[in-house]
Structure 1
Amino acid sequence: MESVMAATTGEKLLRHWPAALGVLVAVGTVLRLDHGSQGASVVAASGLVYLAAAATTHPGAAWPAFGVTFVLVGLGLVWSGFDPVPWICVAALGLAVLGIVRAGLRPVWSLPLQSAAMLVLGAAAVLAVRAEHVTGGIVVSVALFGHAAWDWWHHRTERVVTRSLAEFCGVLDVLVGAGVLVVTLTM
């Protein structure tokens, strides 16, 4: 009986590895925050990974894009002189141009929509970086909670990114958004 339960638990963990990875990355991110506006790079990164998939027309391209943003966000969290937000926004602009050259603006729900989302998320990230810490932290939290809804929709419709990325990102966004809010309101 115990081996059956262990197998079932193991199968569940394997099936939900993206959520487990999201928890791990979120905890590591929140523990590095000195103030909420430091989470701005996560907001910008959340838009970039979706834009990468739309621009290349390959849902799996979101995972390598996440890897790049993971390094950039990590550098910003450990090196106080490095702001990853401008780098992520420049990369997003390059991806949007690549997508237009490569695939055009079709289908309507893909590149144009992801570009608009990146524009909103990039603006929110820039605003959060430039604002005082409490306002910046609240902007980051609201943006991440909004992006979590975006993740849920993409997970449900199976559009643009892989389901695993949408699941991972949704968990990450909710937990980092909540963590940023706690850090912001308890400073």
Structure 2
Amino acid sequence: MSDVTAMSDHPADTSTPQGRGLKHALIRRWPTLLAILVSIPGFTDEPTRGLVDSFAVAMLLLPLWYVVIGATGRRNLTWWVLGGAIALFVGLRFQDAVDPSVVLLSISLAAVVWGTIRGRLVEPAFLLQIAGLAVFAALSATALNAADFDTALYAVAAGWFAHGIWDIAHHRANAGVARTGAEWCAVVDVLIAVQLVLMSLLL
């Protein structure tokens, strides 16, 4: 009787190995699934100059995220910093008193100073993040100051795609932000770049 009770309390797993494998794969790849979910609506938007400029400013969030994590040395803060940065960006878009790009760059530079004070400047990984900040800030500025729409669009698309490669490299090296964050960001970055170029050609 005890054997019967035990069997009824713990029913056998009737799922197939393939089903269990798919389930585990989906659970393991949750950052990718989340990235796809949040990116899908963008494929219905026509890339106007206003939208392109918004993505140019948003691009500054990417190096900011990496620099802050590099300055603190605490990868466990990856998602908290990302959430705070996104919330700040959204809030900045609802005001006209200060340029959002100035705020984001100021925070990034403050993180660089903080990291320097903490002795991070001797670490190649932190120097790499500073270089990344310079490159992506330059691409953002190029887009925002471009006289024609195509230059702005392709500068922004190139920046987001390049940061997707940046994320993949950091994910493979298990460096920078947490690997889940790098995976999520890589997918979002590449999809944004693709949607900007694709929608400009189709719409």
TM bucket normalised to smaller: 0.7 to 0.9
> For 1:3-57, what per-residue CA distance to the aligned partner results, in whole angstroms no more than 9, with x for missing partners?
3344333221110011112112323456566443321133211111111111111
Which residue is equivalent to 1:118? 133
Moved more, 31-40 or 122-131: 31-40
Q: Which runs of 5+ in 1 are unaligned?
A: none
CA contact (8 A) 1:36 1:184 kept: no
Aligned equivalent of 2:77: 61
Equivalent residue for 1:18, pick from 6, 21, 31 = 31
Q: Which has the larger radius of gyration?
A: 2
Identify the residue that residue 8 of structure 1 maps to in structure 2.
21
Paired residues in the alignment total 185
Q: Please, which runs of 5 or more residues in structure 2 have no aligned partner?
A: 1-12
Q: Which amino acid aligns with 1:21?
A: L
TM-score where L is the length of structure 1:
0.85
Could you tell me whether the CA contact under 8 Å between 1:140 and 1:177 is conserved in 2?
yes
Q: Percent of aligned pairs with the same residue?
A: 26
For the Cα contact (< 8 Å) 1:52–1:62, is it kept in 2? no
- Superposition TM-score, scaled by structure 2 size: 0.79
Instruction: Answer whether contact 2:139 2:155 (CA < 8 A) is retained.
Output: yes
SS in 2 for 1:140: helix
What is the one-letter code of the residue matched to 1:64?
W
CA distance in 2, matches of 1:177, 1:148: 9
Contact map agreement 2:136 2:159 (CA 8 A) in 1: yes
Hey, what's the Cα distance between the residues in 2 that align with 1:115 and 1:88?
14
Aligned-CA RMSD value: 2.5
**91-100 vs 127-136, which moves further:** 127-136
